[in-house]
Structure 1
């Protein structure tokens, strides 16, 4: 899975066409095959070389519609960067200090996140902050949608957004919607919520368990063990690791040379 931000930067570096960078990003964010085909055709009309460059990446690596549900709507590496921010400044430390800093900083992160998750669950919230905000927004937008039922099992619907006039098909059994948000995020989009409200169905059945606070608490259930005083640690029994001089980094710049007249006595008398 590639970061869409880096793909956009690489495209701009390869072709120097800033006005097409946004279109490439939109292709990556395409949630349905139809949306992808429309955006891809627009790019191809502006130059086949641009389209071929995108083809070389591989659809499943950067387009939401073809990621087989692995991304959950995340198109950047922010999930990794958030851990990097926790460990910021530790990578330049000596090995022992680096390991110690990593251990204590991750312990602080897990302890804080675990407390926040338990507090949110205790406050009566069922879902995460992200899911709660997204559902509330979709509920507000669902009031302007007309729903038509197309089967007796209350599973297939056709909905019309009165503001835009766009028509979408919702299949609750397959958990799909033409807008693409339902299958990408595993959260009920505004069309799904409108269908549930129209037929008096429980929309919470279509929220994936990963957004529930009971599942989020499991992520931070691991607890770090205090290291204690190193003098109390058991004696190490194992192989001794010796650094290889061949792997030592050379300093930048020209190598330092010693002038014969400034050589130290330990180096011997210079030949003049």
Structure 2
């Protein structure tokens, strides 16, 4: 499953195999590289199934870096931690830590994990942070944290799996085709209305502009596009606001890290655009534009 610009399912490929093994995963992923897409820089999010892990790391497979980047489903990882340590609080704390955008909050979470369970903290040290931490490897994820969407489509095809192979293929084809027909027409209608971005992205940017109305912008270097933004609480709950973040428009970064992770303006970038009458369109990644057929977000699930 892929993910489109509206954070909806984008079916990519299906295969019928005898069982899930290292060999079948290697064959399937090789077919995708050969027959579906040869583009580089893809982010593949999966559980840590041995077959997927081996296929992704195999030399010459086309899935090793920099051709593709493998990231772990945070929900699956949290479930594995719960299975091993039988501690729901530890599972929730791991999820909270992995979801954080800023390193200071991430480090706070790691410290709490260490206090709760030293072995769990040691286990995390054996894995690259980029594999499971949003603030360390989230830019390639485009905000996608789990393989939940792939599992949603598994449910769509749940009854079809017990059909004879010919009937199974037909059911899969027509259900997938209906997805493309509906969403193609929906995207065309939005484009005809002059709307360049998907509803999800539009809503996020509008919400960030509302937050930005309460922020204060201080220019550091207007020529290079560097500004400091002090956040205001506005209508948000107590404890929000009062923070300072540095925006660098030329490098397309913000110290909140949301700009880099989600690839569209955070409220701090929106505040700068609002203050200096800049259009936000130039700061939205092409992969989250409505007209785009593909997204640089690909999910694989076992």
Alpha-carbon offset, residue 83 of structure 1: 3.1
Highest RCO, 1 vs 2 (Cα 8 Å, sep ≥ 6): 2
What is aligned with 2:232? 162
Pairing partner for 2:253 from 167, 176, 181: 176
Q: CA RMSD in A?
A: 1.9
Alpha-carbon offset, residue 38 of structure 1: 2.1
1:185 equivalent in alignment to 2:185: no
1:25 equivalent in alignment to 2:102: no
Residues of 2 paired with 1:214 and 1:162: CA distance? 34
In our comparison, the structure showing a higher alpha carbon Rg is 1
Pairing partner for 1:141 from 205, 211, 226: 211
Count of matched residue positions in the alignment of Structure 1 and Structure 2: 218
Residues of 1 paired with 2:127 and 2:168: CA distance? 36
1:204 equivalent in alignment to 2:281: yes
Alpha-carbon offset, residue 75 of structure 1: 0.5
Residues of 2 paired with 1:85 and 1:187: CA distance? 31
Distance 1:68 1:162, change over 3 A: closer
Q: Which runs of 5+ in 2 are unaligned?
A: 1-70, 234-240, 296-302
Q: Are 2:224 and 2:250, in contact at CA under 8 Å, matched by a contact in 1?
A: no
* Structure whose residues are more often strand by fraction: 2
1:92 equivalent in alignment to 2:162: yes
What is aligned with 2:26? none
Q: TM-score normalised to the size of structure 1?
A: 0.75
Q: Are 2:218 and 2:227, in contact at CA under 8 Å, matched by a contact in 1?
A: yes
1:73 equivalent in alignment to 2:150: no
Q: TM-score normalised to the size of structure 2?
A: 0.68
What is aligned with 2:85? 15
Residues of 2 paired with 1:104 and 1:83: CA distance? 14
Deviations 1:91-117 (A, max 9, x none): 111111111111222122211111111
Q: Which runs of 5+ in 1 are unaligned?
A: 221-272
Deviations 1:47-98 (A, max 9, x none): 3212112223432221112226221111111232243243231111111111
What is aligned with 2:20? none
